[in-house]
Structure 1
Amino acid sequence: MRILATSDVHSPKHLSEFKGSLTNISNVDLALLAGDMVDGGKIEYYSIIINLLRNKANTIMAVPGNEEYDDKLRTLKGVNGLTLLNDEVLTVNGIKIIGSRGVLDKPTKWQERNIKGIDELYRRRLEWLINTLKGSHEAILLTHYAPTYVTLEGENEYNYPFLGTKKLEEVLSDSRVLAIHGHAHHSKTRCVKLGNSVIVNVAFEGVSSPFIIDYSNGEVNVIEPREYSKCKEVNVRSKTTTPRSTGLDEWLK
């Protein structure tokens, strides 16, 4: 299966650049959009994105990011040509696709102020993700937030808990999954191999290109961008340092 994966286009911010990046990309079986394809809840731009991808991909699937606001998700589900997964599982070409906005280890200050019960929401979602991933040997996990800290390298370490979670690393390491996420614009380590799973940060901002991934019989081959074709092999380990705050958690949604 040939996959186009991207996120964080933040339309209309990078829409023109995104359109240009598709020029030399040939057809794919599946396009996976890992959230924040629009900025500030501007769902009207999603139809433009789908039209750009319609002639490139047989199937287009997405998860919401923090910029696809909850009160816009019903509208987003109605966008023609798009399948939105919001804590849902769907099988495509025999492959189980697990789709979710994902989990943060620490809710941002904005989330604590504006989303009632955010801690419980993350607890229940984490439990669902772990149970759904257990025993997976050929599946795709699509989230907006990072399911590991390893693909956050390049971001300020203090902000890791506000960008993703470490709590899925063990189940990913014990499974055989292709995990695709976004949200971390400044990441320098975009592809890692964790046990038998491969995790790819496909955020458009910082790379200016979609990722093209060949996924066949559980094997992952990152074709484009070429500089990320070799994935870094890592072990799950705990960090003991406590980096200093940059205040990013004050404005992150």
Structure 2
Amino acid sequence: MSKDKIRVAAVGDLHCTKESGGQLRELFRQAADSADVLVLCGDLTDYGLPEEAHVLADELSGARIPILAVMGNHDYESGQQEEVCKILSSAGVRMLDGDACEIHGVGFAGVKGFAGGFGRRTLGPWGETTIKQFVNEAIAEALKLESALAKLRTSERIAVLHYSPIEATVQGEPLEIFPFLGTSRLEEPLLRYPVTAVVHGHAHRGTPEGRTVNNIPVYNVARPLLRHTYPDRPAFRLIEVAHSEPVRM
């Protein structure tokens, strides 16, 4: 591939329902016209139903570019997340869950992530067993992200999440729900394995941009937020990264 730049279109929180047929196809067409890769940041379906996944797969069928995705909390609602993942995978979507892949010389590492709060207010594994289980889920997701990032050998890397790794991009949501929108535990792997950019969703009323403590740009690409913030643009974030060859170790 001869391009100097690779364009990545990212959007999350599609919340595809059984009645969404025909409502997302134009968005995906615009993304395919504008970008080389389409990244979907979770909450792909509304209730995590196979019927919704089939509708989304059909809507995506016109986007003739590589598509990557992570799951979101809504995709787990009905306990059929494995079937949802299978349907989308069969439609050509590369589903990432602690996995890494390379497209056009750009590395992608993806994981759903989890909640738990930010900074000094991050929930710790203390007290009841259920609290420890909650915190351990966040730790497990962070370890999956770290493992995926460690596999990449490209100079340009993008981390794909559903939950936010920083507080800045959930600003605008009610303060009371900040701990359920993401966790700083997801930021820790980004300090050990720096990336070019991070994309996430989940915070519909958050802030479009922020940065990690090591100055990595983080983009909240929740579709409701993008539609509200940039009403004159298609509801996806376009990110340009340099096209480069993988670093051989």
**Residues 133 and 23 (structure 1 numbering): CA distance in 2 closer, same or farther, change over 3 Å?**
closer
The structure with more helix, counted as a fraction of residues = 2
Pick aligned residue for 1:4 from 1, 4, 9: 9
The structural deviation recorded for 1:215 is 2.1
The structural deviation recorded for 1:135 is 11
Percent of pairs identical after alignment?
Answer: 27
Contact 2:42–2:162 (8 Å) recurs in 1? yes
Pick aligned residue for 2:197 from 147, 163, 178: 178
Gaps of 5+ in 2: 1-5, 118-122, 228-234, 245-249
Partner of 2:61: 54
RMSD, matched Cα: 3.2
Q: How does 1:125-136 map to 2 (within 5 A)?
A: 125-130=141-146, 132-133=148-149
The structural deviation recorded for 1:173 is 5.4
Gaps of 5+ in 1: 219-253
**Which whole-Å deviations, capped at 9, do the CAs of 1:170-205 have from their partners, x for residues lacking one?**
553562331110000001x21224434221111011
Aligned pair count reads 213
**Which whole-Å deviations, capped at 9, do the CAs of 1:124-178 have from their partners, x for residues lacking one?**
2223434654797521111110111111111122321110012344553562331
Q: What SS does structure 1 have at the residue aligned with 2:179?
A: helix
Partner of 2:175: 157
Tell me, in whole angstroms, the C-alpha distance in 2 between the residues paired with 1:14 and 1:3: 28
Partner of 1:197: 216
Contact 1:30–1:57 (8 Å) recurs in 2? no
The structural deviation recorded for 1:20 is 4.5
Partner of 2:240: 214
What's the TM-score, normalizing by structure 2? 0.72
Contact 2:138–2:185 (8 Å) recurs in 1? no
Q: What SS does structure 2 have at the residue aligned with 1:207?
A: helix
Residues 1:119 and 2:135 are matched in the alignment: yes
Partner of 1:102: 113
Partner of 1:78: 86
Partner of 2:247: none
**Residues 133 and 85 (structure 1 numbering): CA distance in 2 closer, same or farther, change over 3 Å?**
closer
Q: What SS does structure 1 have at the residue aligned with 2:190?
A: helix
Aligned partner letter, 1:149 = E
The structure with more strand, counted as a fraction of residues = 1
Identify the range of structure 1 (134-143 vs 156-165) with the bigger mean alpha-carbon deviation.
134-143
Residues 1:63 and 2:79 are matched in the alignment: no
Q: What SS does structure 2 have at the residue aligned with 1:44?
A: helix
**Which whole-Å deviations, capped at 9, do the CAs of 1:81-129 have from their partners, x for residues lacking one?**
112111222222232211111121158xxxx999993332222222343
